[in-house]
Amino acid sequence: MDEYLNRRVRPILTKFQREAVISQGKRGNIPTGVDYDHTQRMRNQNLLKDERWGSYKKGFKTLQCRIRGVYLGNNSNYANQPLFAIEVQPLQKLPTSKPPNSATPYHISVAFFDPNKRNMFEELERKYSKNKIVTLRGEISGLTFKLDTTRCPVGSDELIKRVHAEGHYYYSPLHVSL
C-alpha cells in the first residue's frame, strides 16, 4: 500500500516543488548564494599542484552517491523556467569540500523547464522523484566529473540525454561540477 501511495504522491510533490521554485523566482526570493573559487573548496591543498591533480584524477572513475531530481531556480528573466537537475549527495569524499555555489547542492544540470516539453519533464520527475543510491561512472575533466554516457546509470539514461540535448546546456556534457 505504501509503495502505491508513494508512486502516486511523489510526482505531485515534485510538481509542487517546481511550482514553488517558479513562484519564489518571480518574487525574487531565491538566495543567490556565494560563489567559491576551486582553491577555496579543494579538500587537500596539495592537489592544486599539477602533478598531484593529474595523478588523482586518473584514478577517480566512480562516484558513490544518493541522487534525486530537483528544480533549482533563479531570480532572472527566466524565473518561470527552473533548472531540472539531479541532486548529487556524495557518499564518499570528493576532491572539493563544497559545491561551487553555496545556494546549490552538487548536481547534474539536465535542462531548464520547457512547458512545450512538459510530458518529458513529468516523466523525469516520476523517474527521479525518489532518492536512489547509485554509482556514477565517468572521469574528471577540468573541475567537473564528466559522466560516461554508456556505463553510468544517469549519463546513459536515454530520456535525460534527450532532454539535455534539446535544452540550454546541449553544448556541455552531462557532469557534476566539482
**With 80 as the cut, is the pLDDT of residue 164 above it?**
yes
Per DSSP, the three-state class of 72 is strand
DSSP code of residue 129: S
Per DSSP, the three-state class of 122 is helix
Own/partner long-range contacts of 27-30 (Cβ < 8 Å, ≥24 apart): 28/75, 29/75, 30/73, 30/74, 30/75, 30/79, 30/103
pLDDT computed for residue 77 by the predictor: 67
Residues 6+ apart with CB under 8 A from 131: 66, 67, 68
85-106 pLDDT, tens digit per residue, is 999 999 998 888 888 888 889 9
C-alpha cell at 106: 552538487
Q: Quickly state the pLDDT bin for 69 (edges 50, 70, 90).
A: very high
- What are the helix (H) ranges across 28-150? 38-41, 50-59, 118-127
Evaluate whether 81 touches 113 at the Cβ level (below 8 Å): yes
When pLDDT is averaged across residues 53-80 and rounded to a whole number, the result is 84
**With 50 as the cut, is the pLDDT of residue 167 above it?**
yes
CA–CA separation, 166 and 163 (whole Å) = 5
Instruction: Give the number of other CB atoms < 10 A from CB of residue 14.
Output: 23
Give percent of the chain above pLDDT 70.
87
pLDDT computed for residue 50 by the predictor: 64
Q: Quickly state the pLDDT bin for 51 (edges 50, 70, 90).
A: low
When pLDDT is averaged across residues 76-90 and rounded to a whole number, the result is 86
For residues 135 and 37, the model is more confident at: 135
Q: Quickly state the pLDDT bin for 3 (edges 50, 70, 90).
A: very low
CA–CA separation, 3 and 125 (whole Å) = 17
Q: Quickly state the pLDDT bin for 5 (edges 50, 70, 90).
A: very low
CA–CA separation, 46 and 168 (whole Å) = 36
Evaluate whether 17 touches 70 at the Cβ level (below 8 Å): yes
